[in-house]
Chain A
Amino acid sequence: MLRRRCPTGGERIDLCRQWEKKMRAGRKRKRKRKRENIAFLFFWSFSRFTAYTGKWRGKKGNVFITPLCCRNSSSPNLEDPPMKKSKDPFEIAFEERDESPPESPTGPDENEAQTPGALTQDVSGDDDISNNLRPTDPSTSAASSIPVGTAGPTGKSKEEDEEEEEENMDVELGKLPSSGDPDKTAIMQTILSQFTEGQMSRYESFRRSGFQKSNMKRLLTSITGSAKISMPMTIVVSGIAKMFVGELVETARIVMAERKESGPIRPCHMREAYRRLKLEGKIPKRSVPRLFR
């Protein structure tokens, strides 16, 4: 059934059918492109979700945007060729997305099934989402190579993927994640552009790592005994636990510096760090002491 006028006027039926087939295929492709566009923008917004600019470290005083380790290590080498200043490593990663993805430490979520229907999956928190964006799906590979979206690559991506249609979706998604002030984003960009390889990989680990939602949910269910654990609760507890691990590791590093030791963190440092956190009161105390551990 032709919805549009056949250019041959309908007299040559076989031509009409061929033309109809082509139109259908073209419309299909157009639909697919539209869907991919939306999917890409959707996943881009997921990646922007991870691109918080460090507000969470507290609004007053210092804003610890990068973890202690990156600040303590050697300051950016000024003799480095200036090419790094203009290009964000994440921009480079985006532009080179045809190559195989860089070996990034996020391994565990590769076996999670990623289908094009992944758009309807649950919101799984920031880092988990970026962990999930690892698949080899062509529809999402574009988005997956953008580990963290900053203002630069997102602008480029919009231009490169934008087609004639201006969707309302574009504007909404573009405006959504820019919750941080532009100053902070600009500062972040300058810092990120001057990172060394090691710092960048560590920062990437820092941003992308997180507890698996399923494991955390299972743990919470086993603790509470109730079957219903809402997704926001899992997200909150995962976030709290991640920050707790951060405090532990940073305190352990401080302990090591005091003892003038180097290398990987040993359990003795970790126990000392735990003891110090307990003294500070950051560990919830049990009203009833735990027996028979």
Chain B
Amino acid sequence: MNNPTSRWRAGASQPSESSFKRKRGVFQKDLQHMMYGFGDDPNPLPETVALVEDIVVEYVTDLVHKAQDTASKRGKLLTEDFLFLIRKDVPKLNRCTELLSMNEELKQARKAFEVDEEKLASID
């Protein structure tokens, strides 16, 4: 029973391969700060954090599966699929559109920054 898993583990060098093992506590540190920010104790209980992590991973998994179902007709998985899934949830939708627009703004700022850098380099 242990042999195949150990062999398989030795072979799997990259986490991007479809591996079903999932390390516990991937989001633990971030989750602690997040839960404190949303109203929990400054030091949340570790079992609560583990439970929230499980819930969140399951939530994201289900979300992605649903998005893939929507996107299977088109072929590619796009960001719009996620936005379609949360269309009923107004706060989430607004937040995501704001995040995306901020991302665009920052991209523009970065482009402008690089242009300036080139200008500076060309001055000398």
Contacts and interface: CB of A to CB of B under 8 A. Distances in A.
Q: Do A and B belong to a common assembly? A: yes
Interface of A: 27, 31, 34-35, 38, 42, 45-46, 49, 52, 55-59, 67-69, 105-108, 119-120, 123, 125-126, 167-169, 172-173, 176-177, 179, 202-212, 215-216, 218-227, 230-233, 235-237, 239-246, 248-250, 252-253, 263-267, 270-271, 274, 282-286
Contact of B98 (A55, A120, A203): A55
Given A218-B16, A240-B63, A205 B33 contact: yes
Contacts of A38: 113, 116-117
A279 B64 CA distance: 21
Given A241-B59, A244-B59, A266-B47, 12 more contacts: A67-B38, A105-B42, A126-B99, A211-B30, A231-B103, A237-B60, A240-B86, A264-B40, A264-B44, A270-B52, A271-B51, A284-B62
Contact of A227 (B16, B47, B57, B79): B16
Contacts of A42: 109-110, 113
Contacts of B55: 248, 270, 274
26 contacts: A38-B113, A42-B109, A45-B106, A56-B91, A58-B90, A67-B38, A106-B33, A169-B116, A202-B36, A206-B37, A222-B19, A224-B68, A225-B18, A237-B63, A237-B82, A240-B82, A241-B59, A241-B60, A244-B59, A253-B40, A264-B45, A265-B40, A265-B41, A266-B45, A270-B48, A284-B62
B34 to A, nearest CB: 4
Nearest to B61: A223
A105 B103 contact: no
Given A202-B37, A271-B51, A236 B100 contact: yes
B54 to A, nearest CB: 10
A117 to B, nearest CB: 11
Nearest to B29: A108
B29 A236 contact: no
A27 B82 CA distance: 50
Indicate the size class of the contact surface on chain B: 35 or more
Task: Name, among A210, A264, A283, the residue most crowded by chain B CB atoms within 10 Å (CB to CB).
Answer: A264
Given A169-B116, A222-B19, A58 B91 contact: yes
Could you tell me the dominant secondary structure of chain B's interface residues?
helix
A285 B85 CA distance: 12
Contact of B35 (A31, A107, A211, A265): A265
A173 B105 CA distance: 10
User: 8 closest Cβ contacts across the A-B interface?
Assistant: A206-B37, A69-B39, A205-B37, A56-B95, A264-B41, A249-B38, A209-B33, A209-B34
B11 interface: no
A123 B82 contact: no
Contact of B34 (A125, A168, A245, A264): A245
Given A203-B37, A249-B35, A35 B48 contact: no
Nearest to A206: B37
Contacts of A223: 60-61, 64-65
A203 B117 CA distance: 36
Nearest to A73: B39
